[in-house]
Structure 1
Amino acid sequence: MRVLVIAAAVLALTVGSAQAQMGGGRRQPNERGAKADNTPKVDEKAYKAALERIPEPKEKYDPWGGARPSEPAKKSK
């Protein structure tokens, strides 16, 4: 009897976690399709114009600049 109760508890916990992962199936029929239609469309001309307004950097970006010195160490002989 004890084994049967433990097996039922394990089965209940397994079903509960599977239910949480699947979402329960209580969604509206076209919920995802409606959200996709409401997204704004990208205007290619406006995008390219915005990219052209970005100024060019004066010096090259160094992502490791803080980890090492910008100029190599000069050896004196």
Structure 2
Amino acid sequence: MKILVIAAAVLALACGSAEAQGRRSPNDTGAKPADNKPKVDEKAYKAALERIPEPKEKYDPWGGARPAEPAKNEPAKKPK
């Protein structure tokens, strides 16, 4: 009898969670919402890209992980 009660409780919990996933709100009609995104102005986008100044030096993302290169007039140090 104890096993039957436990099995019924497990079955009720499993069915309850599966039913909760399929519920919809009363206001949900299935229609997609209107597209409220702003329109992209291609001319303004290209003009903004042209206003970005060119960097004087090339960006080095690993610059902090590597030691700086020695100057041309200094002799290179040998690693120990």
TM-score (norm 1): 0.64
Root-mean-square deviation (CA, aligned residues, Å) is 2.8
Select which of 52, 73, 76 maps to 1:74. 76
Percent of paired sites with the same residue: 72
* Distance across 2 between alignment mates of 1:19 and 1:61: 55
Alpha-carbon distance, 1:23 to partner? 6.6
Unaligned 5+ runs, structure 2 = none
- SS of the residue corresponding to residue 56 of structure 2 reads coil
The normalised TM-score by structure 2 is 0.62
**Higher Cα Rg: structure 1 or 2?**
2
How many residues matched? 72
Q: Identify the structure with bigger relative contact order (alpha carbons < 8 Å, sequence gap 6+).
A: 2
Q: Distance in 1 between matches of 2:22 and 2:64?
A: 46
Instruction: For 1:69 and 1:19, locate their aligned partners in 2 and report how far apart those are by CA, in whole Å.
Output: 61
Structure 1 unpaired stretches of 5+: none
2:46 alignment partner in structure 1: 48
Change (3 A) 1:75 1:46: same
More helix by share: 1
